[in-house]
Amino acid sequence: MDIKVKEEPVDSKSTVPSSSGCPPKAKGVTKPRSAYRKEDLPDFILSDPQGRWHKKFLPTLILLLGSISHPFDLPESSLLQFAQSTFHIVYPEVCDFVIASTGPIIAKILQRFCEWRSNFGSTAIALILDFMAHDKTRDPVEVATAMLEDRRFLYEDMQFPQKHEIYRSTFVVTLLGSVHLTAIQGHATIPTLKTDELAYSGMQGAVGMSSAAVERALTLIQKGHIDVDKSLKAIKGGKLSITLPKSLNKYTGKQTSAPYLFLDQLWGRAVRSYAHSISSRGDDYIHNIIQLARDTVQGTGVLPFSTDAGSDEPEELDERAYLCK
């Protein structure tokens, strides 16, 4: 017996399968991933009255992304596997559907991943600026320098840091809750991907992202790339707008803010190292941090600031990886 497997069309719509069987394979022209828009998603996703794409499918993939040690660099083979396994659970009525690596589904997933990563960077800056706004007596550069010393910003008590309180700082916990926990709310339960275990303690990547994002925010202030006073005065209507400096790209001849962004090339190693460090603490320690983050979000509400499998080889880590030793 020949078994026909339906593949995702790359430039045309899929429909919900009728009682007579699955929709036929559609042919289309491959687009660059950046060219895909929401309207390019299959019809059964766009017309879904339950809104499972945003409410269940994407949150599940974000849960998985936050569990790996290097969320900046999820191998495409792993992404396809995660997406396909999640798809079968979230859309059980769509039979034999194969997600194409060049289609709109993967393109929109990757876009959501970029938004998630960017939110760590922008929200961390907002958190630090809010902290600085409540202390008018000290110079922001001096405060940032003091917080970066011995990475005090990671500890629950920055003045008297204790090893058993690492990764429990207000900044890390609030960032984890406001960016990651809100993004995974409503995720599906998929036994083969151990989503229940990930929701309990599998968030080392997200903790790494939170820690690195706070370090970046403090570094930008310490080096004068962000002027705290000017940034706070520029707040309008409760909205914070940060303008990062630009430098000349010698290859393009254009000004760019890339050297100051929260990117893999600049902060990937820090994320991976922090994730390695927190993993050494064990599942219960990570779970306690997750619970603190959950309590923070429930107690204060989602912060209104948010805007805009990697390798663990020892030589690719740095001293951050051994903070829990």
Residue 321: what pLDDT? 61
Quote the Cα angle for 267-269-272, to 5°.
Answer: 110
Q: What is the pLDDT of residues 40-99, one digit of tens each?
A: 999 999 999 999 999 999 999 999 999 999 999 999 999 999 999 999 999 999 988 999
Task: Give the contacts of 318 (CB within 8 A, at least 6 positions apart).
Answer: 269, 270, 273
For residue 6, the surrounding DSSP H or E stretch is strand 6-7
Residue 29: what pLDDT? 57
Tell me the backbone φ, ψ of residue 96, rounded to 5 degrees: 55, 35
Low-confidence ranges of the chain (pLDDT < 50): 1-5, 12-27, 301-315
Q: On the CB side of 223, how many CA atoms lie within 13 Å of its CA?
A: 11
Q: The whole model's pTM is what?
A: 0.84
Contact in structure between 202 and 181 (CB atoms under 8 Å): no
Residue 322: what pLDDT? 58
Helices and strands counted in the chain (H then E): 13, 4
What is the percent of the chain where pLDDT is above 70? 83
Residue 299: what pLDDT? 65
Q: What is the C-alpha separation between 276 and 264, in angstroms, rounded?
A: 16
DSSP state, 40? G
Q: What is the pLDDT of residues 155-169, one digit of tens each?
A: 999 999 999 999 999
Q: What is the C-alpha separation between 310 and 313, in angstroms, rounded?
A: 9
In angstroms, what CA-CA distances link 127 with 121, 133, 164, 317? Answer: 10, 10, 23, 27
